[in-house]
Structure 1
Amino acid sequence: MSKMTRQQAVAALVDGVEQDLQATQSIHALLERQFQAALRHQGAELGALAAELTPALDAMDARRKQRVALVRALHGVDGTMSGFIAAQPEPGRAKLAAAWSELERLVVACKSATTRNGNLLAEQFTTMQRVLHDSDGTYAPR
């Protein structure tokens, strides 16, 4: 990363939060579509959704890494986003605090949706394994 002025670093942090807020909303919608596709056993749709999710998540992770580096550069090794936000002047502080709070809420919702989707897919896989390889005779004629 090239050298930034303090003002550029602050602008990059604020812009990154806004980008992540938009991305997280899109990711949450994709996760909901993934759940519906899993319920309907739509393998092709699941593959297409994974192809959309992967770059979106990679981009978010890159912005997170940049955010951590910028906060530490501005506020020291122990710097945090809350400390960064608290140090911002008004009126920008309130807007940034609201965006950060919404981003945190959406990230929790995405994590919950990811866990739900993973559990559903694992349950479906386990069920199919039992059907295909059950040796206790569950599906044998009686």
Structure 2
Amino acid sequence: MSRMTRPQANALLVDGVQADVRDSAEVLSLLERQFDAALRHQTAELTSLAGLLAPLLDAMDARRQQRVSLVRALLGEEATMAQFIATLIEPAQGALAAAWADLEHTVQACKAASTRNGSLLAEQYTVMQRVLHGEEGIYAPR
């Protein structure tokens, strides 16, 4: 494999962030659908959504790993995306900064939605366990 030029690395970084912005919006939409399906106890829909989420999340993680490697190769082992963005000239700098901020915001929303969904599913599981197996000491004297 030949070495990548700085313009090629820059283009790959920009393209990766744009792809992550697109995919993170899709992940957030799927997480909202997952919450609705969990509220309605729609197991088949939950399974289907998991199948849609997994490849998106895998692709985003692969791009994240690539992004970290590229930024470190360009700017050093402790480099950050903010430092990389600062090296660009306008209008590329402003466009990537805006896309990066959008990605960070959407990822935080995805994390919150994922936590909410996990909490709902855990609570539903706990309730079902109590229904199926009863609670210890429920009939014990107080």
> Structure 1 pair 88/119, CA: closer, same or farther in 2 (3 Å)?
same
1:39 and 1:5 map into 2 onto residues whose CA distance is: 50
Match of 1:62 in 2: 62
Match of 2:41 in 1: 41
AA aligned to 2:117 is N
Structure 1 residue runs of 4+, over 3 Å off? Answer: 135-139
TM-score of the two chains, using structure 1 as the length reference: 0.94
Render the CA deviation track for 1:26-45: whole Å, top value 9, x for unaligned: 00000000000000000000
2:104 and 2:25 map into 1 onto residues whose CA distance is: 11
2:113 and 2:33 map into 1 onto residues whose CA distance is: 10
Q: CA deviation at 1:138?
A: 5.5
AA aligned to 2:100 is W
Match of 2:75 in 1: 75
Alignment of 1:68-107 (within 5 A): 68-107=68-107
AA aligned to 2:87 is A
1:70 and 1:32 map into 2 onto residues whose CA distance is: 33
5+ long unaligned stretches in structure 2 = none
Match of 1:7 in 2: 7
What is the total number of aligned residue pairs between the two structures? 139
Secondary structure at 2:112 match in 1 = helix
Identity %: 63
> Structure 1 pair 49/2, CA: closer, same or farther in 2 (3 Å)?
farther
AA aligned to 1:112 is A
Match of 1:26 in 2: 26
1:6 and 1:40 map into 2 onto residues whose CA distance is: 50
Match of 1:119 in 2: 119
2:2 and 2:106 map into 1 onto residues whose CA distance is: 31
Match of 1:129 in 2: 129
